[in-house]
Amino acid sequence: MFHVIIPARFASTRLPGKPLLDIAGKPMIQHVWEQACKSDAASVTIATDDQRIADACATFDAKVVLTRADHPSGTDRLQEVVTHLGLEPGACVVNVQGDEPLIPPALINQVAANLLAHPKASMATLAEPLEDLQSLFNPNVVKLVTDHQGYALYFSRAPMPWCRDAFAQEPKQLPADLPFRRHIGLYAYKVSFLHDYVTWPCSPLEQAESLEQLRALWFGCRIQVADACEVPPAGVDTQADLDRVRALLGAV
């Protein structure tokens, strides 16, 4: 059994009020909620610090928790919500981003099942093969490497693993025998981990890379990683993304 929490903030540099933007006659957050409700989750809760989002969610009968507005990270916001919901320390929570209106329910089920199947892990997340140099060298694409058991060793915006000989050439070559992987930002957490996480200071690695999951590695937690069971559609970060999703859902 697991629970889904969908953080939804009104503030967005590129798309203000993003959760409330209309897509095929519904606010974006409703599409995300509907996809999450198609998963096997025992409950789906929207977490927001804005009354406008809470009011919109009430129109489609979603469960909403109003949170503080001063959380330093999304993980801190989740911890407030699991405390409010009274979830047990051993419970599993999946964080589904509020700008993923096309999130496949199968991925939500997968990441939750992976965490529940790995008692040594505090978190679980997903990845997919990375097969082009442009993405590998793009700092907006987060890369990861794991050990032979599928536990994360590191996440980075830099290219990794670094292939000394292949990358010394011009043009650079992407070796076919190495597992280059892109991180997919879908997480499952144990509630006990969330309670611990908010007590830890931000780590130097987390600050340098601007990646919250590095705090977990810094403090010795294990993160289980699996390749996604299906290709996840891109989320909505820009107007172009919004136009693309509107075209897709408007045609349904």
Distance CA 218, CA 77 (A): 20
Give 96's pLDDT tier (boundaries 50, 70, 90). Answer: very high
Give CA–CA dist 248/100, Å, rounded: 13
pLDDT given at position 234: 81
**Tokens 């859902």 label which residue?**
249
pLDDT band per the 50, 70, 90 thresholds, residue 75: confident
Structural element, H or E, at residue 44: strand 43-48
Q: For residue 223, give both structure tokens.
A: 């993160």
Q: Map out the domains of the chain with their CATH numbers.
A: 1-103+233-251 (3.90.550.10), 120-184+201-229 (3.90.550.10)
- Taking only the tens place, the pLDDT of each residue in 173-211 is 787 778 899 999 999 999 999 999 999 999 999 999 999
Instruction: Name the more confident of 15 and 160.
Output: 160
Chain centroid offset of residue 215 CA: 15
pLDDT reported for residue 252: 55
The whole-number pLDDT of residue 228 equals: 96
Other Cβ atoms closer than 10 A to 199:
8
pLDDT at residue 220 greater than cutoff 60: yes
Q: Looking at residue 27, what is its pLDDT?
A: 95
CA-to-CA separations, 231 to 5, 55, 67, 133, in angstroms, rounded: 22, 33, 32, 19
Query: Cβ neighbours of residue 127 under 8 Å, at least 6 residues apart?
Result: 144, 181, 182, 183, 184, 225, 226, 227, 228
CB 161 within 8 A of CB 225: no
Write down the pTM of the prediction. 0.93
